Chains A and B, each alone.
Chain A
Amino acid sequence: NAGVMQNPRHLVRRRGQEARLRCSPMKGHSHVYWYRQLPEEGLKFMVYLQKENIIDESGMPKERFSAEFPKEGPSILRIQQVVRGDSAAYFCASSYGGDGVETQYFGPGTRLLVL
């Protein structure tokens, strides 16, 4: 039973380029969450999605960041025109249901470095 998959594990981009981070949830999970971990900080919620719907994007920066979870395929977190401050580890989590009681299972993360 594969866990949450994220790729790439490491991503290097130059300022102004685009970064695409992919997340495949655990089998049977239809709820996906993205979190960002800045150096020496805890994880901060970014966005919560169900299939084809964004439920809560209150943690997403207003510009340059977008997320989707299409009917088929992985969830994508897209960062346009990256800046050095975007350098962080981005974690995806999935759960079977969306209630607070549901355990969120985390992927290994994508570590983005912006040069």
Chain B
Amino acid sequence: AQSVTQLDSQVPVFEEAPVELRCNYSSSVSVYLFWYVQYPNQGLQLLLKYLSGSTLVESINGFEAEFNKSQTSFHLRKPSVHISDTAEYFCAVSRGLSGYSTLTFGKGTMLLVSP
């Protein structure tokens, strides 16, 4: 079984400041890792994912996340946030083995960007 912990329920920041959203996971097997973003009253959109290879993955809109196996973490970072980044961010894991796997989500972190 896997579990995901997002330590912060809300992160308020000012526009153009850097931000880090924390995610830790627990699993007895290897995992794949995902960050999803949810804008108000919308579905989840995939932001980025780690499957294998380079531990640093990037999204097209400036976010990046680094897989740290020893610390079982997959923190999300952005060097300079915009107002439009205000949304809820969910970290998720799936089992990294053959055969089907479903997603296990954290409780989410609400990123609040103010001018």
Task: Verify if A52 is at the interface (C-beta below 8 Å from B).
Answer: no
Which B residues touch A85, using CB under 8 A? none
- Chain B window 23-39, contacts with chain A (Cβ cutoff 8 Å), 1 for yes, 0 for no: 00000000110101000
Contacts of B67 in A (CB 8 A): none
Q: Are A100 and B44 in contact (CB under 8 A)?
A: no
Total interface residues in chain A, CB < 8 Å: 29
B78: Cβ under 8 A from any A Cβ: no
Q: Is the CB of A100 within 8 A of B96?
A: yes
Contact with B along A35-60 (1 / 0, CB 8 A): 10000111111001000000110010
- Count residues of B near A (Cβ-Cβ below 8 Å): 31
Instruction: Report yes or no: B43 in contact with A106, Cβ–Cβ below 8 A.
Output: yes
Q: Does A69 count as interface, using CB distance less than 8 angstroms?
A: no
Q: Is A74 an interface position by the 8 A CB rule?
A: no
In the complex, whether A96 has a CB less than 8 A from a CB of chain B is no
- A17 CB-CB contact with B under 8 Å: no
Bound-state Cα–Cα, A91 to B45, Å: 12
Which among B36, B42, B94 is the interface contact of A100 at CB below 8 angstroms? B94
C-alpha spacing A20/B107, complex, angstroms: 26
Of all chain B residues, the one with the shortest Cβ separation from A105 is B46
Stretch binding the partner chain, chosen from B11-19, B54-62, B69-77, B97-105: B97-105
Distance (Å) between the CB of A49 and the closest chain B CB?
11
- Chain B 86-110 near chain A by CB (<8 Å), digits 1 or 0: 0000100011111111111111100
5 examples of A-B residue contacts, CB within 8 angstroms: A35-B103, A35-B105, A100-B31, A100-B94, A100-B95
Chain B positions near chain A (C-beta within 8 angstroms): 4, 6, 9, 31-32, 34, 36, 41-46, 49, 51, 90, 94-108
